[in-house]
Structure 1
Amino acid sequence: MPAIPARLIEPLWVQFSALLPERPTFDPGHPLGVHRRRLDDRIVFDKLIQVLRFGCSYQAVADSTCSATTIRSRRDEWIKLGVFAQLRHIVLECYDRIVGLALEEISIDGCITKAPGGGEVAGRSPVDRGKQGMKRSLMVDGYGIPLGRVLAGANRHDSPLLAPTLDKLDDLGPLPDVITVNLDAGYDSQTTRDELTSRNLTGRIAHKGDKAPIQASRRWHVERTNAWHSAFNRLQRCYERREIVIDTFFDLADAIVALRSLIRRAWAAHRWETRPRRRP
């Protein structure tokens, strides 16, 4: 069973491999001159996709072609090179160039997930009997394309995470003159309004105590993106302890989400050689 469809994994791998530096098949600096051949990067990349999608351990996906130690060491090597962050940035840039990011309407919301192993961004979850959990403060555009996130312990309130989440807008280049930020009732405070005013942003905040369906506002896009992220079981139940590794899996998931939306939305307006016959 493939972790993700071939129409997604192939273009993703082509771009990912283009970011990797050249590596010799054998290490020329080995003191004895006898050592194993370097494992193909594509094999490790597919294993990481499986870990992200199915949420299994590295030992579970390891086999005769690739060990768990090799997966972790190659993962850390790519993290130091910043390849995953570059991949996410390139896919987001391609989406913006072909389809266009809807930055006039952005939405931000927090989402609590389980973190049984604890770690750098874990805390006592108020919705899970005090067990270890992680919160992500996610920002998306008007369609739900993830623009950035901030990771924190599950015991952190959404409101203090708003400012560092909005700081992610600085990485997007030119912005519209008028940006509306859609927020739920958890952000209904004067502190939030002052923060938005200082950034020249317009806030559309749900009022505490007023019941309204989520479809009544533009905030449902971020809820849908949270559901997209939860489809990656590694993010839904995180066993990683280091924040940099968790961010890596989020970067990879964001790239998949953006690429999938790009193919789906460009299907009706563009033609290319490998275009699916049916709309994905």
Structure 2
Amino acid sequence: MARTRPWKVSDALWEHVAPLIPPAPSHAKGGRPRLPDRQAFEAIVYVLRTGIQWNALPRELGASSTIHDRFQQWEQAGLFKALWQAGLAAYDELAGIQWEWQAADGTMSKAPFGGAATGPNPTDRGKQGTKRSLLTDGAGIPLALVIDGAQRHDVKLLSATLDGVVIERPIFPLEQREQLCLDAAYDSTPVYKELVARHYWPHVRSRGEERMEREIIPGYRARRWVVERTHAWLNRSRRILVRWEKKAENYLAFLHLACAQLLFEKVAVFG
């Protein structure tokens, strides 16, 4: 089997990336030639997918300090979030976002260097960690993502997650409310009030309840687990398995890029 190189940037992907790249600073007074944007972007994707340290980047990809500076510039310009939004728009046009059924859940990553949006992980002997809360559509397409300290309960992040959808959410009639699937940790009156206020109809199920319903209801389709599968899809990008970034915005930039790459992989299949 041929070895895959998921960090390679295809011509089709670059067509979406290139218009979002902010203008390069002027070099009217001379200086060394600027590293091509496509080469810099591919090096950033290499870091994302392999989890390699910045200063361990292969020299043929470019100087690590140059790549890191470009990453910081593009993060501040909002490139990676804009690319995620572009991926959602392209996917929606080809396949259609399944707004009717959505799912949300959180997962935790280690954060040995600490920094903003980290805290003691109650499941890892109080070591520093980060929680990411994710909202997906019915097919597991990422729609919103927020991060906080690992000690924050999923319930505390739900409102921010639902309000953080990165593209415009369609407005449905009240009788056609969107269905939101959650696990049993969200089973509380305040959660239900938040969902109703946002025109969601809650479906709170444990894994055992979903399994039972699948066995006794003909044609039943389990929907809550799709968000867990999306977390697993994102974890193929090894840079986000362990958070090495002290700055929350840098970690979010990698998460946004992982979401974007996932979407354009889907677009390539449908295209």
Global fold match (TM > 0.5)? yes
Name the counterpart of 1:182: 181
Query: What is the CA distance between 1:172 and its match in structure 2?
Result: 2.2
1:86-235 map, 5 Å? 86-169=82-165, 171-177=167-173, 178-206=177-205, 212-213=210-211, 216=214, 217-235=222-240
Indicate the residue corresponding to 1:277 in structure 2: none
Compared CA separation, residues 131 and 252, structure 1 to 2 (3 A): same
Task: Describe the shift of the 1:43–1:2 C-alpha distance in structure 2 as closer, same or farther (beyond 3 A).
Answer: farther
Aligned pair in 2 of structure 1 residues 245, 151: CA closer, same or farther (>3 Å)?
same
1:82 matched residue in structure 2:
78
What is the CA deviation profile of residues 35-87 of structure 1, one whole-angstrom value per residue up to 9, with x for unaligned ones? 21111112211111111001110111141552221111111111222221211
TM-aligned CA deviation for residue 260 of structure 1: 1.5
Matches of 2:212 and 2:59, distance apart in 1: 45
The C-alpha deviation readout for 1:122-173, integer Å capped at 9, x for no partner, is 1111111111111001000000000011101111000011111110247324
Matched with 1:41 is: 37
TM-score in terms of structure 1 length: 0.85
Deviates more, 1:155-164 or 1:210-219: 210-219
Structure-2 residue corresponding to 1:27: 27
The unaligned stretches of length 5 or more in structure 2 are 215-221
**Structure 1 unaligned residues grouped into runs of 5+:** 268-280
- The match for 2:13 is 12
| The one of 249, 257, 262 aligned to 2:267 | 262
Greater displacement, 240-249 / 210-219: 210-219
- SS of residue paired to 2:130: strand
Q: Please report the TM-score for the alignment, with normalisation by the length of structure 2.
A: 0.88
Percent of aligned pairs sharing the same letter: 35
Q: Residue 85 of structure 2 contacts residue 166 of structure 2 at CA under 8 Å; is this kept in 1?
A: no
Q: 1:170 to 1:84 in 2, by over 3 A?
A: closer
Conserved 8 A contact 2:7-2:46: no
Which amino acid in the other structure matches residue 42 of structure 1? R
CA gap 1:5/1:115 in 2 versus in 1, 3 angstroms: closer
Distance 1:248 1:114, change over 3 A: same
Q: Which moved more, 1:172-181 or 1:42-51?
A: 172-181
Match of 1:270 in 2: none
Which residue pairs with 2:218 in the alignment? none
Q: For 1:49 and 1:187, how far apart are their aligned partners in 2? A: 35
CA RMSD of superposed structures (Å): 2.2
More moved, 155-164 vs 114-123: 114-123
User: Does the residue aligned with 1:231 lie in a helix, a strand or coil?
Assistant: coil
SS of residue matched to 2:59: coil
Q: 2:63 aligns to what? A: 67
1:113 deviates by 1.1
In structure 2, the CA distance between the partners of 1:126 and 1:3, relative to structure 1 (3 Å rule), is farther
User: Deviation of residue 22 (structure 1)?
Assistant: 4.1
SS for the counterpart of 1:244 is helix
Would the alpha carbon gap of residues 10 and 116 (structure 1) be closer, same or farther in structure 2, given more than 3 Å must change?
A: farther
The alignment of Structure 1 onto Structure 2 pairs a total of residues equal to: 259
- Whether contact under 8 Å (1:117, 1:239) holds in the other structure is yes
Please report how far the alpha carbon of residue 23 of structure 1 lies from its aligned counterpart in structure 2 after TM superposition. 3.1
Q: Deviations over 1:174-217 (max 9, x none)?
A: 2333200100011011111111122221000126x965549943
What displacement does 1:245 show? 1.0
